[in-house]
Amino acid sequence: MRFVYFPESSVLSCQAEMQDGKSAEVGMIGFEGMAGITAVVGSPPTVHSLRVSIGGSALRVSTDDFKREIQRGDGVQQSLLAYAAEYVTQISQRSACAVFHTVEQRFAVWLLLLTDRSKNDVIQITQERIAEHLGVRRAGVTVAAAAMQDAGAISYRRGNLRVNDRQMIEEIACECYGTLAVGRQQTTYM
């Protein structure tokens, strides 16, 4: 990985892809963090791939330059370590969430995490892509989205998803959102 990326308005998705073509999001990266941690710490090439969930701006720095900056051991290094800890927390919490919680709850958490980072209540995304993020079938997303739409929490039409009632979505979401929320505190690490 030649560059590390720092999203501004964009949101990236770290995806685990299986041999049969199925995939699921294992991590979400927005303004609070960076893509390319594994390249910086010198571990072998990642087995996961990055996708853009929400298009927008991002800054990039060459991985070698960023490594040199980290080796100076000042505030950038501290920020990287703090973010790395947060990112590991996100991955591990979402792993447990996928085991214990319903698709509707996970959909709600994912939607909250995404809109925290995009800072926009309207998202252009297909249900097929949502299904890839959640690691479920498209029909499962349709069922979960229909339930949330019936409740008035969202409206979805032809690839346009609008958050109508954020508080209701937080009530649908499981406890994992409380652990992972970054938007309300305006947390930024990098």
Partner 1 sequence: MNNSDEQHPTILIVEDIDWIRAGMKKAVEREGYRAMEVRNDAEAFQIAEREPLGSILTEEELPTFDALMARLREHATLSSVPVVIVNPDTEDGARYGNAYLLADYGDITALLAVLRC
Residue nearer to partner 1 on the CB measure, 74 or 128: 128
Site string for partner 1, 133-152 (x = CB under 8 A): ----xxxxxxxxxxx-x---
Cβ neighbour number for residue 44 with a 10 Å cutoff: 6
Nearest to 187 by CA among 108, 83, 94, 91: 83
Rounded CA separation 62/10 (Å): 19
Instruction: Tell me if 72 contacts partner 1 by CB under 8 A.
Output: no
Residues near 160 by Cβ (< 8 Å), separated by ≥ 6?
Answer: 122, 123, 124
Shortest approach of partner 1 to residue 148 CB, angstroms? 11
Residue nearer to partner 1 on the CB measure, 157 or 184: 157
Q: Which of residues 97-116 bind partner 1 (CB under 8 A)?
A: 102-103
Instruction: Tell me if 21 contacts partner 1 by CB under 8 A.
Output: no
Radius of gyration of the chain (CA): 17
**Applying CB under 8 A, what is the total number of residues that bind partner 1?**
21
Instruction: Tell me if 179 contacts partner 1 by CB under 8 A.
Output: no
Give me the helices (H) in 34-175, please. Answer: 37-40, 63-71, 75-100, 103-118, 127-134, 138-150, 166-172
Residue nearer to partner 1 on the CB measure, 70 or 147: 147
Q: Which residues contact partner 1 by CB under 8 A?
A: 102-103, 126-128, 137-147, 149, 156-159
